[in-house]
Amino acid sequence: MDGHDPVFSVRGLWKVFGPKAERVPADPQYASLSPAELRERTGCTAAVRDVSFDVRRGEVFVVMGLSGSGKSTLVRCLTRLVEPTSGELAMDGEDVLAMDRTRLRELRRHRAAMVFQHFGLLPHRTVLDNVAYGLEIQGVGKAERRARAREVVAKVGLAGLEDRRPNQLSGGQQQRVGLARALAADPEVLLFDEPFSALDPLIRRDIQEEVARLHREEGRTMVFITHDLAEALKLGDRIALMRDGAVVQLGTPEEIVTRPADDYVRDFVRDVPREQIVPVSRAMRPAIGDEARQGAVLAPDATVAEGIAAVAREGVPARVMADGELLGVADHALLLAVVAGLAPADAGADSGPAGGAAGLPDAAGADPESEQATDAVTA
């Protein structure tokens, strides 16, 4: 991932619906109004309000927020399925707002494919032909498109079902066909608009895992809309949390959960079990004496929940190791401090003679990534 070479770069983006929409971003008098006041004074809705962020190459970028917060409008603006009212928007450094129709069509077909909640499958076509359809409109020859379609159908776990029609598939399987169709074009970015919200919870978990696996295997950049916090935390490398058209916080799941930007975000994440989000590397201290030679071994990105299980099982602090090197140990006090929502430095005196977490990255950590992550916040 390279923060200096974003896939999408968005600056000061607005989408206003309503009469004479352009006047709203242009006039600070309107731009600063609350949604209700704006509607009353102008008849306009600012669905996206002065939003800036980068989508980094290879990341899963989640856009999260309650219904009506502007998620779909924002993501549709990225490929101009919705025309932005003002602002700047680039993909791979190219000005998207300056693209002509042909270039835009190419962008949508080849570079940024959308997976919709309603899969839009063609009912009279087989799974294979539905997947090949995107390639057909790209002008790919029949033999090649069927071969490629067969490959992606297998990739999303539908091998053997190539000849079925959509009405012979479950909702989850239909969603996989929609996913395969988007993948068949081998786009640089996949954009997902609440793709799983119509699925029942078990199928939903399956397909979430499928997407996570695909991402691990291919490293393709993904932008994912959801109103479901658990889904956002599970899939997102970074999450942009929207409210009333603005991004109120942009950060990693850990940052959003441990350092909410305001009371709104705090309220949103209040019930999230921190131990399942925070990595054990946030609950470490230097090893003392025998600790370097005993105890369970965990990777730095293991969760605090896994750390707790390891310490409970072994009865001694767990060792956090990467590439054979000991990074530190996690003891019960430091691990429980995460559960209790305390900074590691507050973890109490029984963390050993080294005085707890002295010298360790604290919960408000100085992670260089996180500095960048907050760059793009628009309040």
Ligand X SMILES: Nc1ncnc2c1ncn2[C@@H]1O[C@H](COP(=O)(O)OP(=O)(O)OP(=O)(O)O)[C@@H](O)[C@H]1O
Q: Which residues bind ligand X (CB under 6 A)?
A: 17, 45, 47, 65, 67-73, 227
Residue 263, class by beta-carbon neighbours within 10 Å (0-12 exposed, 13-18 middle, 19+ buried)? Answer: exposed
For ligand X, the closer of residues 269 and 320 by Cβ is 269
The HSE-up count of residue 335 (CA atoms within 13 Å, CB side) is 24
For ligand X, the closer of residues 72 and 351 by Cβ is 72
Alpha helices in 117-252 (DSSP H): 127-137, 142-155, 171-184, 201-218, 229-235
For ligand X, the closer of residues 129 and 193 by Cβ is 193
Closest CB 220 distance from ligand X, rounded Å:
23
Token digits for 74?
Answer: 């924002």
For ligand X, the closer of residues 75 and 298 by Cβ is 75
Regarding beta strands 297-298 and 86-91, do their DSSP bridges make them parallel or antiparallel, or are they unpaired?
unpaired
Closest CB 241 distance from ligand X, rounded Å:
11
Alpha-carbon span 110 to 138, nearest angstrom: 9
Closest CB 131 distance from ligand X, rounded Å:
26
Q: What's the CA angle centered on 7, arms 279 and 156, to 5 degrees?
A: 70
Closest CB 245 distance from ligand X, rounded Å:
7
Alpha-carbon span 241 to 248, nearest angstrom: 6
Closest CB 242 distance from ligand X, rounded Å:
7
For ligand X, the closer of residues 76 and 155 by Cβ is 76
Q: In this structure, which amino acid lies at residue 197?
A: S
3-state secondary structure of 338: helix
Closest CB 47 distance from ligand X, rounded Å:
3
User: Residue 340: CB partners within 8 Å, gap ≥ 6?
Assistant: none
Burial 69-88 (b: 16+ CB within 10 A, else e): bbbbbbbbbbbbebebbbbe
For ligand X, the closer of residues 16 and 135 by Cβ is 16
Closest CB 36 distance from ligand X, rounded Å:
11
Alpha-carbon span 303 to 323, nearest angstrom: 18
Closest CB 84 distance from ligand X, rounded Å:
13
Read off the DSSP letter of residue 138.
Answer: T
Closest CB 15 distance from ligand X, rounded Å:
8
For ligand X, the closer of residues 43 and 341 by Cβ is 43
Say which residue the tokens 């839009």 belong to.
120
Closest CA to 65 of 184, 232, 256: 232
For ligand X, the closer of residues 9 and 69 by Cβ is 69
Alpha-carbon span 357 to 64, nearest angstrom: 33
For ligand X, the closer of residues 47 and 308 by Cβ is 47
